[in-house]
């Protein structure tokens, strides 16, 4: 099951209480204070696990509570700290405070961690309160309470390339041809009900391997931005992809004019979010192994050439055109990553 929004409760451990105790030994009259400190309460931590692609595990478990740190005891023994609880989340998880809506974190890098609720410090035992003039303090601190709150987690996929198009355009088939992913393919609309992720690999002239993450998004239809079909729910996953690859069926299976198909999808995305118009995008004509007369293909090619839109022809069935497409997408993504790195660097320069 694909789940991209959950609400969870996190409660970190309270710190253990400090202890009030005095040394009692047969030949040591009036032994001083020896109450130990409480242990710290464990934190609740989110950690990005690149293997995950949904928040489904958090749908089934909603409450995360860490137990308190151990209390201090006599003989100056400190309480044990309680262990942190680590919750694995997928790449692209946004964390918000449920009550205030405040954005607390954006977890984008594999292995990245964020403290979701901080454990309380242990209280000090009475041996810490001894001074020259107070030889027998009877005070000790209680442990600090651990942080607790309700959080909303929202997944917005972070893929380099998203495959977009009408149902049946051939998105999942191309995904299967480009990556090791094995999405469901079917000769009926809306075979794909949630986004799938896969990784395509290509090599540059020096045989260095590059990886490009690809998202196969459920088919869009006219009115998607208003919720038609599978609608808006999945359009949000396109917000954070770098490159959009429009797939347009030009084969004998296609019902409509390919240029109209392309324009409808492009329009839907821009109506959903104006920023989509700024993303680099490519067009690929699909299923070219079953093109009978080339009218549709030529029409789409002419349209793209006239507008300087990078245009490709592919067949997932025969793998024609797939490798050059991966390479071009890869180069576009690498170029984008470089500009991002420069942007980040110039930000850093400004700060320093
Ligand atoms: N001959 C041929 N058939 C293809 C090719 N690509 C896809 N098809 C067929 O087209 C139909 C739809 O393919 P899918 O890959 O499921 O299309 P989709 O865009 O993922 O569809 P939805 O998930 O419903 O949006 C299936 O019957 C595929 O077998 C191709 O390159 N050549
Ligand atoms: Mg599909």
In this structure, which residue's CA is closest to atom 11 in ligand 1? 187
CA–CA distance, 172 with 122 (Å, rounded to integer): 54
**pLDDT beyond 80 at 94:** yes
Q: Which of the four pLDDT bands, split at 50, 70 and 90, describes residue 202?
A: confident
Ligand 1 contacts (CB < 6 A) are: 165, 167-173, 185-187, 189-192, 218-219, 286-287, 289-290, 315-317
Pair 243, 189 in one domain: yes
Give the end of a domain, one of 120, 155, 190.
155
Residue 69 and residue 211 share a domain: no
Q: Are residues 172 and 219 in the same domain?
A: yes
Look up the CATH number of the domain holding residue 9.
2.70.210.12
**Which tokens is 220 given?**
């869009």
The pTM of this model reads 0.82
Q: What is the pLDDT of residues 238-297, one digit of tens each?
A: 998 999 999 999 999 999 999 999 999 999 999 999 999 999 999 999 999 999 889 999
Residue 44's SS3 state is strand
CB 48 within 8 A of CB 109: yes
Confidence of residue 208 (pLDDT cuts 50, 70, 90): confident
132 and 195 part of one domain:
no
Judge if 145 and 166 occupy the same domain: no
Please indicate, yes or no, whether residues 176 and 301 belong to a single structural domain of this protein. yes
Same domain, 6 and 136: yes
Residue 243 tokens read as 């490159």
Cα gap 256→279, rounded to integer Å: 26
Contact (CB, 8 A) for 56 and 26:
no
Distance CA 30, CA 28 (A): 6
Which tokens is 259 given?
Answer: 């240029």
Q: Which residues fall inside 5 Å of ion ligand 2, going by CB?
A: 171-172, 191-192
Q: What angle do CA 88, 44, 8 make, to 5 degrees?
A: 70
Question: Among 140, 155, 170, where does a domain finish?
Answer: 155
Number of domains in the chain: 2
By CB atoms closer than 10 A (0-12, 13-18, 19+), residue 2 is middle
Tokens of 221: 């239809």
197 and 96 in a common domain: no
Assess whether pLDDT exceeds 60 at residue 344: no
Percent of the chain whose pLDDT exceeds 90: 76
User: Based on the domain organization, do 209 and 247 belong to the same domain?
Assistant: yes
- Same domain for 255 and 345? yes
For residue 104, pLDDT over 80 is answered with: yes
Q: What is the pLDDT of residues 189-201, one digit of tens each?
A: 999 999 988 999 8
Q: Which residue range forms the structural domain that includes residue 259?
A: 161-351
Judgement on whether residues 145 and 172 belong to the same structural domain of the protein: no
Taking residues 134-152, what's their average pLDDT? 95
List C-alpha distances in Å: 82 to 15, 62, 86, 119, 351. 8, 21, 13, 9, 38
- Under 8 Å between Cβ of 247 and 177: no
C-alpha of residue 351 to centroid of ligand 2, in Å:
45
Cα 234 to ligand 1 centre (Å):
19
The pLDDT of residue 30 is 79
Q: Report pLDDT for 352.
A: 45
Q: Do residue 105 and residue 121 come from a single domain?
A: yes
- Give the DSSP per-residue string, 244-303: EEEEEE-STT--S-HHHHHHHHHHHHHHH-GGGGGS-EEEEEE-GGG-SSTHHHHHHHHH
CA dihedral 99, 105, 110, 114 (to 10 degrees): -80
* pLDDT at 303 (0 to 100): 98
Domain stops at, among 126, 155, 184: 155
What span, in angstroms and rounded, lies between the C-alpha atoms of 313 and 262? Answer: 14
For position 254, which CATH number holds?
Answer: 3.40.50.300
């Amino acid at each position: 099951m694909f789940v991209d929004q959950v609400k969870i409760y996190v409660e970190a451990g309270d710190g253990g209480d400090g202890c009030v105790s005095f040394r009692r030994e047969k030949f040591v009259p009036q032994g001083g204070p020896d109450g130990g400190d409480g242990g710290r309460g464990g934190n609740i931590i989110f950690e990005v696990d690149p293997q995950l692609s949904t928040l489904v595990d958090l749908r089934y478990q909603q409450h995360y509570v860490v137990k308190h740190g151990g209390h201090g005891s006599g003989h100056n023994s400190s309480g044990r700290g309680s262990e942190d609880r680590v919750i694995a989340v997928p790449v692209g998880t946004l964390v918000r405070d449920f009550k205030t809506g405040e954005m607390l974190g954006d977890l984008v890098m594999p292995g990245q961690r964020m403290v979701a609720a901080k454990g309380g410090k242990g209280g000090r035992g009475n041996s810490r309160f001894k001074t020259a003039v107070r030889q027998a303090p009877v005070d000790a601190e209680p442990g600090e309470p651990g942080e607790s709150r309700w959080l909303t987690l929202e997944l917005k996929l972070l893929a380099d390339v998203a495959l977009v198009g009408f149902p049946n355009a051939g998105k999942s088939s191309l995904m299967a041809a480009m990556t090791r992913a094995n999405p469901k393919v079917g000769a009926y609309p809306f075979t794909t009900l949630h986004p799938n992720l896969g990784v395509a690999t290509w090599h540059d002239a020096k045989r260095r391997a590059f990886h490009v993450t690809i998202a196969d998004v459920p088919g869009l239809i006219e009115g998607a931005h208003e919720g038609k079909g599978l609608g808006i729910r999945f359009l949000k996953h396109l917000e954070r992809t770098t490159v959009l690859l429009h797939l347009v069926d030009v084969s004998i299976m296609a019902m409509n004019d390919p240029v109209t198909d392309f324009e409808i999808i492009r329009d839907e995305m821009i109506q959903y979010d104006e920023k989509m118009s700024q993303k680099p995008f490519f067009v690929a004509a699909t299923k070219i192994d079953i093109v009978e007369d080339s009218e549709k293909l030529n029409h789409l090619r002419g349209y793209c050439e006239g507008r300087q839109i990078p245009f490709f022809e592919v067949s997932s069935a025969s793998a024609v055109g797939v490798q050059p497409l991966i390479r071009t997408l890869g180069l576009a993504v690498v170029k984008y990553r470089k500009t991002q790195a420069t942007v980040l660097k110039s930000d850093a320069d400004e700060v320093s």
